[in-house]
Amino acid sequence: MSRTEPAASVTDGKPEVPALEASYLAKSFGASRALKGVDLTVGAGEVVALLGENGSGKSTLVKILAGYHEPEPGGELRMNGTEVPLPLPLGESRSVGLAFVYQDLGLANELQVVENLFVGHRVATGVRQAAKPIRWGAERDRAREIFRRYGVKLDPTVLVGRLRPTNQALLAIVRAAEELREYRDQQGQTGGVLVLDEPTVFLPQHEKVFLYELVRRVTAEGIGVLFVSHDMTAVREIANRAVVLRDGEKVGDVRLTEASDADLIQLVSGHRISRETIEAATNYKQEEAVELQGAEVLLSVRGLTGGRLNGVDLDVHAGEILGVAGLLGSGSEDLPYALFGDIAGSTGEVTIGDWTVDVSQVNPRAAREHGAALVPGDRKQQGVVAELPVATNMLSLSLSNFMQGGFLRHGKLRAAASERAQTYDVRPRNVTLNMASLSGGNQQKVVLARWLEQAPKILLLHEPTQGVDVATRHEIYELMRERARQGVAILWVTTDFDELATVAHRIVLCSSGVIEGTIVPPFSRDRITSEVYAAAAKSGQREVSKAS
Amino acid sequence: MTTNLDEQSETVPPEASQPQGGATVSSRGGFLAKRGHLLESALLPVAWVLVIIGFGLHSPSTFLTWANFANIFGTNAVLFVLVMALLVPLTNGDLDMSVAENAGFVSMLIAWLNVTHHWGIIPAIIAGILFGTVFGAINGAIVTRFTVNPFIITLATGTVLLGCSQWITNEQTIAGVSPKLTEWTFGRHIFSIPIEFYFGFVIMLIMWYVLTFTPFGQRSLFVGQSREVARLSGFKVSSVRFRGFVIAGFIAAIAGVLNVGTQGSATPGSTSPLLLSCYAGAFLGLTTIQPGRFNALGAGVSVFFLATVSTGIELLGAQAYVEQIFNGAVLVIAVVFSQVIRTRRAASATT
């Protein structure tokens, strides 16, 4: 694999001026150097993926481009061949042909699509500008025309908060692309670079295609894209080239056609994860899946109704990882919570370990006592307390073990937490830091550590690797496989079908709140996707015939 | 976890969920609301009509007279203007609790300058409006410069003003303000409604225009929605908020001018009870015309809806304290109702 490639931007074989050319971007925070002189090129119409673990310098790089951080002297930026003085004043990036879409999209949810789309036009200062009438009819027509041009179907008058997440992301990207278009029209320039910072994290897998399609339309206009993402599928789908950062340095600049996933993961992780682990993390064999069916059933559900669930039956055996695949809204995302007694009004019979009971009797505390653990998908809301130290977050369920004579022994707690931080490879190791100072991947390790501390027999996982970088993701997979080997039953709910193909022994297909079928290895993302759609079509048909 | 979404959402075959192929609701909603929300927007005006019919049936000879309505429009003009003062700060996400005291102090100042110090009425009015505007600027400067909670700051600065107005007048009423001012607020009538109502009406239309059809209004909306989104959109959040307080101070001062004109005299604390009424109007306005937004037309309708109900209750022979109970209860109901609308919308199907 080529470690670095000459930073030439060649599209269709003819050399052009790169849309963005940065050299020696560096930044220190106190004593630590977050970015150690990185060069970056994005060609016109090219999609460059920026890969790296959290803390590798990716966000520092993006923030320098956005004008949040002032780079160290020596850093240079050329947009379309023209030297741009650094640091860029905050908010001025637009005027040099840079537009950003962040993970939180920057949309006002209670305002209309059209208001959000043209928010950039309202910046003009001066009383006369500020009082200039807005003709909403004309604005809506313009919005419709823009959406048509980008092949996006959005109603300009609808409130943004009522759009599904994918459409919100599309709106944010269209807005940014449109800003670049205006910049090009006004300045008579070409080029322009759109920076997409993790825009796909919260989107269901099967809807990401709309995003890919939109990015292709944007690049067809000659706009370069810098795509910051952990999502390897998305990177493979749209990017031409990948730049890999680690510890603030550029450790790779590779064409995606020339690098395998394993190559990229090794670059990202700095060979921390052995090639064997990555390659072992492929499919289980069919025999293994079948063999597990003989094991003891640790989690069993009959006729589970509640939330969007509409009569679910399933069994999870000791040592088995059961994947649940479904489209967003199929009910799969309610399953872990219903089983944990967190959805009011649920009915149906469940068996948790040796405890068989109607699900209305289950509450989180009782479920815990019978050996179940839930790792929720919404880490920010349900998983961690950001303003408390790592140690407290990690051991919050086991505090009674650290009580002595009516006092909580903080020293013992910290010592135990440090040990776990070692075991689960939480970085940085300092457990007195606030949870908020950890990266997403490391926070997730802490959440997992908290529940594994309870030695659960049944693990209910909902999107356990959301917003987690590729390397850490594989560590989490390995951690879970390890537990499964020890006889833990794992229910794994995610819309990331690549992940399911990698970790699951068996996959059940959830649609309209019921289990439509079960599939066994060999798995691939494409197979799971088509099975899920087939299941959705089947239950859709049944509902139609029921109605008539 | 979001489990409240409707069940229909996404169990449809893939092609139907594509943005390209999916049928979206399109509407020609204009500046008002979307077709689906039309009922919601019209709820309060309809309630207003029903209230009029109700009281009218009970006492047609007293309630259902033009004189009665002219009275309702005329006597609530000060409140009508004062509620407009709240709108820009509220849209910015700021509560200005000092508007009523600001108006009261401006009234006192005009009477004091005009009567005690023999200033001409025009210079006195100019001084009053200047003072109110500067006071708004002080509120804004404190709030944005030190990033402190505007609710508590404006509550405190308003109280300081109340104290000052008692101080300069020795807690006495100052009577004998130039009749010219009374003439131009309460004396002249158009369709037997005092002219000050029309001042309020013009201010309402200007507010409606500014908040709905100008970049200025859009900036306020974004700032009120999310400071972070506004900042990333390139807005100067602090100066947008600062201007909101200045505008609030300016309009509150106009309310003060009308107040002293209406009464022909000024009494310390005479406008204090208006604070809750104007918040009731603004929040009830949140539920109508442009539901979900603090809007001028909605606030205007709300003020006169509330005034109609109070007048009707008085005609039924209720004691004065009923009005306090009524205003307080309305504020609670309006805030709860607008929150319910918001929650219900958030829970309704996404597109």
Query: Is B10–A327 a contact, with Cβ atoms under 8 angstroms apart?
Result: yes
The phi, psi pair for A466, rounded to 5°, reads: -60, 125
Domain hosting A33: range is: 10-106+188-272
Residue A149 in tokens: 């041009």
pLDDT confidence tier of residue B10, bands split at 50, 70 and 90: very low
Of chain B, the percentage scoring pLDDT greater than 90 comes to 47
Q: What is the gyration radius of the CA atoms in chain B, in angstroms?
A: 22
Say yes or no: A24 contacts chain B, CB-CB below 8 A.
no
- A218 and A267, same domain (yes or no): yes
Give the pLDDT score at A307. 81
- A440 and A316, same domain (yes or no): no
Give the pLDDT score at A323. 93
CA distance A278 to A244: 18
Residue A66 in tokens: 């956005």
Say yes or no: A164 contacts chain B, CB-CB below 8 A.
yes
- A292 and A246, same domain (yes or no): no
Using a CB-CB cut-off of 8 Å, the residues of chain B touching A104 are 228
Mean pLDDT estimate for chain A: 83
Tokens 């969007």 — which residue?
A308
Choose, out of B4, B5, B6, B17, the residue to mutate when testing the contact with A (most A CBs < 10 Å). Answer: B17
CA distance A65 to A99: 10
Q: Are A299 and A316 in contact (CB under 8 A)?
A: yes
CA dihedral B2→B3→B6→B9, nearest 10 degrees, is 70
* pLDDT digit string, tens, across residues B35-51: 456 777 888 888 899 98
Mean pLDDT estimate for chain B: 84
- CB nearest A329 (choices: B9, B219, B226): B9
Q: Are B162 and B100 in contact (CB under 8 A)?
A: no
Strand, coil or helix: B62: helix
CA angle A241, A103, B228 (to 5 degrees): 135
Query: Is B19–A132 a contact, with Cβ atoms under 8 angstroms apart?
Result: no
CA distance B318 to A287: 84
Residue B136 CA: distances (Å) to CA of A330, A393, B246: 53, 46, 4
Provide the 10 A C-beta neighbour count for residue A437.
13
Q: How far is CA B106 from the centre of its chain?
A: 18
Exposed / middle / buried, residue A6 (Cβ in 10 Å: 0-12, 13-18, 19+): exposed
Tell me how close the Cα of B302 comes to any Cα of chain A, in angstroms.
Answer: 22
CA distance A225 to A241: 11
In this structure, what CATH number is given to the domain that contains residue A534?
3.40.50.300
Report the amino acid identity of residue A217: R
**In the predicted model, is pLDDT for residue B84 greater than 50?**
yes
- Domain for residue A18, yes or no? yes
Query: Is B351–A164 a contact, with Cβ atoms under 8 angstroms apart?
Result: yes
Using a CB-CB cut-off of 8 Å, the residues of chain A touching B342 are 110
Report the amino acid identity of residue A362: V
| Sheet arrangement for strand A489-493 | A372-375, A458-462, A489-493, A321-325, A506-511, A514-519
- Domain for residue A173, yes or no? no
> Residue A3 has what DSSP assignment?
S
- A26 and A49, same domain (yes or no): yes
- For chain B, give me the number of helices (H) and strands (E)? 16, 4
Strand, coil or helix: A157: coil
Give the pLDDT score at A54. 67
Strand, coil or helix: A485: helix
Kindly provide the b/e burial profile for residues B32-57, where b requires at least 16 CB atoms within 10 angstroms of the residue's own CB: bbbeebeebbebbeeebeeebeebbe
Say yes or no: A179 contacts chain B, CB-CB below 8 A.
no
- Check: complex ipTM more than 0.85: no
Q: How many domains, chain A?
A: 3
CA distance A343 to A334: 8
Using CB atoms and an 8 Å cut-off, which of residues 332-391 of chain A contact chain B? Answer: 333-334, 337, 342-343, 376-378, 381-382
User: Which of A247, A243, A280 lies closest to A259 in space, CA to CA?
Assistant: A243
- A439 and A294, same domain (yes or no): no
Using a CB-CB cut-off of 8 Å, the residues of chain A touching B221 are 108, 111, 115
Which parts of A89-201 fold into alpha helices (H)?
113-117, 127-130, 136-149, 165-187
- Domain for residue A64, yes or no? yes
* pLDDT digit string, tens, across residues B273-327: 899 889 989 998 988 888 888 999 999 999 999 999 888 888 888 787 887 788 7
The residue among A272, A297, A332 that closes a domain is A272
The residue among A412, A432, A455 that closes a domain is A455
Which residues in chain A land under pLDDT 70?
Answer: 1-15, 31, 54-55, 90-91, 125, 201-202, 205, 271-283, 328, 378-383, 543-548
Strands (E), chain B: 174-175, 189-190, 193-194, 265-266
Give the N- to C-terminal CA distance of chain B in Å, as an integer: 19
CA distance B164 to B268: 9
User: Which of A271, A239, A279 lies closest to A258 in space, CA to CA?
Assistant: A239
Residue A320 in tokens: 């088995």
CA distance A467 to A482: 22
- Domain for residue A67, yes or no? yes
CA distance A213 to A497: 20
CA distance A218 to A223: 6
- Domain for residue A286, yes or no? yes
- A200 and A100, same domain (yes or no): yes
- A57 and A199, same domain (yes or no): yes
* pLDDT digit string, tens, across residues B167-208: 988 888 998 888 888 888 888 889 889 999 999 999 999 999
- A240 and A327, same domain (yes or no): no
Exposed / middle / buried, residue B111 (Cβ in 10 Å: 0-12, 13-18, 19+): buried
Say yes or no: A46 contacts chain B, CB-CB below 8 A.
no
Q: What is the gyration radius of the CA atoms in chain A, in angstroms?
A: 25
- A196 and A102, same domain (yes or no): yes
> What residues contact residue A156 under an 8 Å CB cut-off, 6+ apart?
A112, A113, A114, A117, A139, A140, A143, A144, A147
- A101 and A21, same domain (yes or no): yes
CA distance A431 to A389: 7
Tokens 């923030």 — which residue?
A63
User: SS3 for A9-48, per residue?
Assistant: CEECCEECCCCEEEEEEEEEECCEEEEEEEEEEECCCCEE
Residue A488 in tokens: 């833990």
* pLDDT digit string, tens, across residues A470-522: 778 888 888 898 889 999 999 999 888 888 888 999 999 988 888 988 988 88
Q: Are A331 and A295 in contact (CB under 8 A)?
A: no
- CB nearest B34 (choices: A131, A157, A210): A157
Q: Are A325 and A517 in contact (CB under 8 A)?
A: no
Give the pLDDT score at A458. 93
CA distance A32 to A439: 16
Q: Of A405-409, B78-82, B133-137, which gets the smallest average pLDDT?
A: A405-409
Q: How many CA atoms lie within 13 A of A351 on its CB side?
A: 14
The residue among A455, A490, A505 that closes a domain is A455
Q: Percent helix, strand and coil across chain A, each rounded to 5?
A: 40, 25, 35
CB pairs under 8 A between A and B: 151
Choose, out of A101, A109, A114, A157, the residue to mutate when testing the contact with B (most B CBs < 10 Å). Answer: A157
- Domain for residue A246, yes or no? yes
- Domain for residue A51, yes or no? yes
Which one is predicted more confidently, A188 or B240?
B240
Residue A102 in tokens: 């962040």
* DSSP H/E element including A355: strand A355-358
Q: Are A304 and A350 in contact (CB under 8 A)?
A: yes
Q: Are A457 and A489 in contact (CB under 8 A)?
A: yes
User: Which of B140, B166, B164, B163 lies closest to B153 in space, CA to CA?
Assistant: B140
Q: Are B101 and B272 in contact (CB under 8 A)?
A: yes
Strand, coil or helix: B174: strand
State the average pLDDT over residues B216-236: 85
Residue of chain B with shortest Cα separation from A129:
B215
Residue A232 CA: distances (Å) to CA of A201, A454, B5: 11, 32, 30
As beta bridge partners, residue A32 has A29
Give the N- to C-terminal CA distance of chain A in Å, as an integer: 60
* pLDDT digit string, tens, across residues B106-129: 999 999 999 999 999 999 999 999
- Domain for residue A220, yes or no? yes
Q: Are A533 and B13 in contact (CB under 8 A)?
A: yes
Pairing of strands A241-246, A47-51: parallel
Give the pLDDT score at A544. 65
Choose, out of A164, A173, A512, the residue to mutate when testing the contact with B (most B CBs < 10 Å). Answer: A164
- A308 and A334, same domain (yes or no): yes
**In the predicted model, is pLDDT for residue B345 greater than 60?**
yes
Query: Is B225–A111 a contact, with Cβ atoms under 8 angstroms apart?
Result: yes
Using a CB-CB cut-off of 8 Å, the residues of chain B touching A102 are 232
